[in-house]
Amino acid sequence: MTKINILIVTTLETKGGAFKSLKNIVESLKDIKNFNIKILTQKIKNKYLKVFGIDSYLSSLKIIKEILKFKPNIIITQLEIAFPTVIIAKIKKIPIINIIRGTSEFCPKYVDIVDYGKSCSGLSSRKKCFKCIENWRSLRVLIGNKQKGWEYSLASSISNILYKIRYFICRFNLYLLNKFSVNLVASYLMLKCISNWVYFEKVRILNITPISRHYKDNKYINKENRLIFVMPTDDASYKGLDFILRLIKFIPKNYYVLIVGGEIPEYKREWKQDGLMLTGYIYSKERLNIFYQESTITLVPTFCNESFGRGIIESLENKTPVISSPQCGANQFFGQKDFLKVIPLKLDLWVRAIKDIIDNLPIIDDNDVSEIYKQFSLERSRNDFVKIIDEVLNISTFKLYDIFGNDLEDFIDLYEIPGKVSIWVEVDNNKDSKEVLMNGKNGK
């Protein structure tokens, strides 16, 4: 039996969708007996280099040592540590798969917001990006990221200088994307953000945000008069925290908003707000699922481009409808379903959407949940990843076995190998798919 050594290189994070998704992917790949998996996490931090997003390069020596020791056949990586890893992998001639989780590595400001309620379509010319950086000073105050008056401070001026330096680092990051064997993205939205810089044969849309089924079929959960907002970090203004705090004033009087996640600055909580409840971080999946199940609506008012939006899927699989901003990549997978409303980030439109859902609560039945799970399941993700690994390593002659010794050749053929580019999760090589990136790099 041929063993395939797979080295996973990632940052040391335990919060947010990127951590959950990679954890699920690794657990599913461990079911394949041929795969010998080792995980390497970045632990070296430097606050000065982190400003430019390059502190991950301090882990280069550790990555080299691990490669020499483990001798991987292939590397899977994600987030900012992917860039020093790909340089090392190219030198060592090791195939490498990059999972792109967002746009923070490709935006000088880390969050690709260009106006209130609008996000960027991808890194552009230096002139355009520098103008965006200048506007960011006042825009940060407008969205609630900084207090009023900050835009005139010395810190604001210094930030602008640092962001302009980082523009060139972001361009280098985009250049490095073409050095990976393949880049995996979760949605067409994320694909568009990098399409002007990356050869289309280097990108695949794949299920990189697998979920595990939580909801028990036929189990009835009483809905409370509650709206839920989940934020993965402290003071997540780019996730729409301040939008939610404003929205609370206009929701029906007998409803309240439950905020699950990080800390909210004191100055944002200094006024009395009856329609608000905070829980802090919740590390129990079961408890979070109950919060979803008992809520009437999940609110996802993301301001920056969200590669996927895991909270949307987690809510729907717990039979709770969602109101989302257009900046979430997961929106594309549900078309015109009435349990997901995609609403521009305008307060009056969200107030109206909340009222509409409360008055006519959409029914998410067991068939809907089954379809959602089927599309984003661990099994589906595992199958897709095995095929990508097979393609990158060109190991079609290898026999793959699960942990029980069963031949996996049958399930390898369940899905076609994803093609170059597609709008949907099912990817093929038809004409429409190829035309998606006609404006991409070199017009390919």
Instruction: List, as one string, the DSSP characters of 235-302.
Output: T-GGGTHHHHHHHGGGS-TT-EEEEEES---GGGSSS--TTEEEEE----HHHHHHHHHH-SEEEE--
The secondary structure of residue 361, as a DSSP letter, is: P
- Identify the pLDDT of residue 400: 47
- Write the CB contacts of 346 (distance below 8 Å, at least 6 apart in sequence): 117
pTM score: 0.84
Task: Report the C-alpha gap between 126 and 138 in whole angstroms.
Answer: 20
Nearest to 389 by CA among 357, 421, 355, 412: 412
- Identify the pLDDT of residue 23: 86
- Identify the pLDDT of residue 409: 46
Q: From first to last of its 444 residues, what are the pLDDT tens digits of the chain?
A: 578 999 999 987 766 678 888 888 988 898 888 899 999 987 777 888 888 888 899 999 999 999 999 999 999 999 999 999 999 999 999 999 999 999 999 999 999 999 999 999 888 889 999 999 999 999 999 998 888 999 999 999 999 999 999 999 999 999 999 999 999 999 999 999 998 899 988 999 999 989 876 655 545 578 899 999 998 776 678 899 999 999 998 999 899 999 998 788 877 766 556 788 888 888 888 899 999 999 999 999 999 999 999 899 999 999 999 999 999 999 999 888 899 999 999 999 999 999 999 999 999 988 999 999 988 988 889 999 999 999 999 854 344 444 444 444 443 333 333 332 222 223 333 333 333 333 334 433
- Identify the pLDDT of residue 216: 56
Please state at what angle helix 154-177 crosses helix 82-92, rounded to 10 degrees: 30
Across 118-219, the runs of DSSP E, i.e. the strands, are 118-119, 182-185, 203-205
What tokens were used for 393?
Answer: 């390593």
**Burial class of residue 51 in the structure, from the number of CB atoms within 10 Å of its CB (0-12 exposed, 13-18 middle, 19+ buried):** middle
> What is the DSSP code string of 392-416?
HHT-TTS--BBTT--B-HHHHTSSP
- Identify the pLDDT of residue 127: 94
**Burial class of residue 396 in the structure, from the number of CB atoms within 10 Å of its CB (0-12 exposed, 13-18 middle, 19+ buried):** exposed
What tokens were used for 429?
Answer: 């090589």
First-to-final CA distance of the chain: 40
Instruction: Domains for the chain: give ranges and CATH numbers.
Output: 4-106+169-211+378-443 (3.40.50.2300), 113-167 (no CATH), 226-372 (3.40.50.2000)
- Identify the pLDDT of residue 15: 66
- Identify the pLDDT of residue 158: 95
List residues bridging with 360 in a β-sheet.
none
Nearest to 243 by CA among 116, 138, 114, 102: 116
- Identify the pLDDT of residue 153: 94
- Identify the pLDDT of residue 211: 84
- Identify the pLDDT of residue 281: 83
Strand ranges across the sheet with 256-261: 276-280, 256-261, 226-231, 297-300, 322-324, 340-342
List residues bridging with 204 in a β-sheet.
184
List residues bridging with 328 in a β-sheet.
306
